[in-house]
Amino acid sequence: MSVLNISAYKFIALHDIQILRESLLAQSLGLQLKGTVLLAQEGINLFLAGPAPAVRDFVAQLQQDPRFADLAPKESWSATQPFKKLLVKVKREIIRMDHPAIRPAQGRAPAVSPDMLKRWLDAGMDDEGRPVVLLDTRNGFEVDEGTFEGAIDWRLSKFSDFPQALLAHRDQLQGKTVVSFCTGGIRCEKAAIFMREHDLPNTYQLDGGILRYFEETGGEHYRGNCFVFDERRTVDAQLDPQPTSPA
């Protein structure tokens, strides 16, 4: 497989979005990359693919900006380019939740590493003996391709439905350790902050999402594949492209 795929995001206050957009667009075009870069006042979210030297050159240039020096993209490989074109867009939010008071750049919710989550799932409880509940913050059609064993699925049709769903089911989560998860971390980070602000103090986000969990643990306790928003459609626990489930 010769095409390197990367995904990364960072919540950080950006005040030069249009200038940054023009710069990243020029860099991406110059390196012949395809994919999507989203920019908003709350940060950056990107999915790009191309030859490995070009992709890593883009990342190195981006990391020269002190705001993105610690950006750590997740990598996977494919035999062909999974994106048809390049988009660098300015949005109101890099992941839409419609709750502007939720600002991860002002402080993240605590995160649990893939290794720690696997240890909790092996034991059936967290380090303090509380039951662990996994909450899938993805859309229903993504969950249908695969999810963690026993994970809660509220059949969301879009992420902006999450706040209302949480308020309707909050009592079911009281007294438990809740780990929110998603594909790469961006949705479950916002979700964890929202839950902590609504009286669920033992809430964590899965750091790096499912993709990092696959990368660091091999996918134990996960069943099926992980949906990705490009022409690969799904990847398995080895991050190899897989056919989707029959409709």
Q: Looking at the annotation, which residues are catalytic?
A: 182
Distance CA 230, CA 14 (A): 26
- Per the DSSP assignment, residues forming a β-bridge with 43 are 11, 40
